Amino acid sequence: MSNMDMSDLMAVFLEEADEQLLRLDDGILQLEKNPQDTEVIKEVFRAAHTLKGSSATMGLSEIANLTHAMENLLDCLRNDTVSVSSEIIDLLLSGNDALRTLISQVKAGETLQIDAEELLSGLKAACAQPTDAKKSAPVKKAKANNLPPGAIGLTIKIADDCLMPSVRAFMVYNSLSGLGEVVSSEPPQDKLDDLAAGQELAIVFTLHADKDHVVSAIKSLAEVELIDIALPTDSASTDSTAPPAPTASTSTRKPEMDQAKSIQTVRVGVDRLDTLMNLVAELVIDRTRIAGIESKLILEYENEELVQNLGETAAHIGRVVTELQEHIMKVRLLPVEQVFNRFPRMVRDLSHKAGKELDFILEGQDTELDRSILEDIVDPITHLLRNAIDHGIEPPDERVKAGKPRTAKVILAAKQEENRIIIEVEDDGGGIDVGKVKSAALKKGAVTEEMLSRMSEDDCLQLIFASGVSTAEKITDISGRGVGMDVVRNNIQGLSGSVEVHTEMGKGTRFKISLPLTLAIIQALVTGVDDRVFVIPLSAVVETFRCDEADIRYIDSHPAINFRGSVLPLIDLGSLFEPRKNIVKQLNKSTTFVMVNTGALKVGLVVDRLIGEQEVVIKALGSFFGDLRGIAGATILGDGRVALILDVAGIAGLINRRRYSRPMVEA
């Protein structure tokens, strides 16, 4: 097998190993809650069995040995020779942790090293392996006159002192892959788990390579001995009593049909999907430009047949590009379950460590999100869950005294609202003391007394996201250092998302994260300011409007609007990025406003004109421009112009600083 083939196999193994580790974690945690659930035991057993077989196939004996020990214990549970206990659950979880460490070492290309002797001993002690395993009777060797044309018969013996005979058998079959096809075997491949040391394997094998290659492959394996090889004879191939060789008309089609049914999915590298997405993004830009050129041609040559044909062709191309884009976008979407499944184990361990009792509830796991965003939400959710367990949830006795259930609830939920994904982390704990947040923010210098006097209670609550702010009375290794919540906000804003917090003392806290479905192509509102063009993500736009001059107010020289009973702060896009003289005095009933929702608050953006809605491709500005607050990227419009895409969450940060410190624009 070539190095490239082996590399591809290893990539597939590692991906499947991650899936099996999650299955093991999830199953063991379910088993802890429902010790008598035999279906859960079977599911965990299958996960361990699958990982054992695949790791043995890849020659990773350390992983195979550990999964074999876990499998033995699970088999004891399955056969009711032992009962589920907290000690057994801890052993299985420790085994899964060790497996995760070994898999990480494989990914890093490191030598597999882990001190698992104590763990292995514990697993064996929990369910002692049978010591008087009966060896099966010798299998019948394949005879030459019984072999089908082009096949050979192999008789292979597993060493008498082999500790893991089934693993060695799997390695035999793996060494034969690529050299031919197994026609039959005794014992059958699905019975290899029952193989004993010293037992023989009889394999009928159709050659695709030279016989010597087969012999060399088997002899290269430790604890395996090739004791006989049968070759087809001339009489065997001409025996009139032998069944006829399969032909196209007489052979059964079932194997081919089964194979066709099994090939339902194809593994594709993420880099290939990214390349496809980039190409589609370029098509979207060109589609928009073609539409723009078509509009100009129609104005000048409205009745020309050639222009009409161009319009029809452009419309067809547009439909095809749109459909192609939608399909590729769907391929890039993955259920959030792939991330959510990592957290039950973490929550379980942290709650035990903190001495708290809670039910962890997952909702909306089938909600789909772009794979480019999915991995980046792990850290923010981790921080929020840690804080919920450490700060939010009260100790059991304290909850009982407060008239609350002894067992708390922590909910991690996802749902789709239009073209946004909403992720919420909610607990029914004690809530956040806004007074403590103010004190912590003052102590850290995040705000001044004067700034606090201007802020509402909700605005003060948002200070929980300021760097270094923590309401913890003591530092723990779970949280409490104030290094998490600012990371949550920064990471979410880096994904063009927003995060807000709602709390009620004594009843609980809810964090709401809003994310775009994708970061590649978005629907947007194109606006004009002077000779410049700004693009606003449509997902953030609430509405556009004009208002009477009498509705415009100035609070400490900062413009705002009394809009439907609420004060809406205003910011002029023209003066935000380049000063425009006396813009606040120019606001009147002909001024166009775009109301955007930043998550934490609503803001009115002042623009000169609305150009229209269109689909735009987000292009990064690159490291040369650095971190431009308020700008999410750039795009190319249909007329070839480059427009800046606004980051409304970043603009909200500018608004807050302006409201509570000094004016950005003087009247």
Residues annotated as part of the active site: 49, 71, 387
Using CA atoms, how far apart are residues 664 and 667, in angstroms rounded to an integer?
10
Smallest CA-to-CA distance from 340 within 429, 426, 423, 427 is with: 423
Smallest CA-to-CA distance from 318 within 295, 282, 286, 293 is with: 286
Using CA atoms, how far apart are residues 617 and 281, in angstroms rounded to an integer?
6
The contacts of residue 94 (CB under 8 Å, 6+ apart) are 119, 122
Q: State phi, psi for 158 to the nearest 5 degrees.
A: -85, 135
Cα–chain-centroid distance for residue 318? 32
Cα–chain-centroid distance for residue 410? 21
Residue 598 token pair: 């930043």
C-alpha torsion 395→401→403→406, nearest 10: 30
Using CA atoms, how far apart are residues 527 and 196, in angstroms rounded to an integer?
75
The contacts of residue 633 (CB under 8 Å, 6+ apart) are 618, 619, 620, 621, 644, 645
Q: What is the three-class DSSP state of 70?
A: helix
DSSP state of 181: E
What is the rounded end-to-end Cα distance, in angstroms, of the chain?
A: 76
Using CA atoms, how far apart are residues 643 and 532, in angstroms rounded to an integer?
8
Contact predicate 380/374, CB 8 Å = no
Using CA atoms, how far apart are residues 187 and 199, in angstroms rounded to an integer?
10
Residue matched to tokens 């410190």: 661
Using CA atoms, how far apart are residues 559 and 302, in angstroms rounded to an integer?
46
Cβ-based neighbour number of residue 89 at 10 Å: 17
Residue 599 region by backbone torsions, left for phi larger than 0, else alpha for psi between -120 and 50, else beta: left
Q: Is the dihedral of CA 618, 623, 624, 627 positive or negative?
A: positive
* CA angle, 337 then 343 then 346, to 5°: 165
Cis peptide before 165 (omega within 30 of 0): no
**Strand order across the 532-537 sheet:** 609-617, 521-529, 532-537, 642-646, 631-636
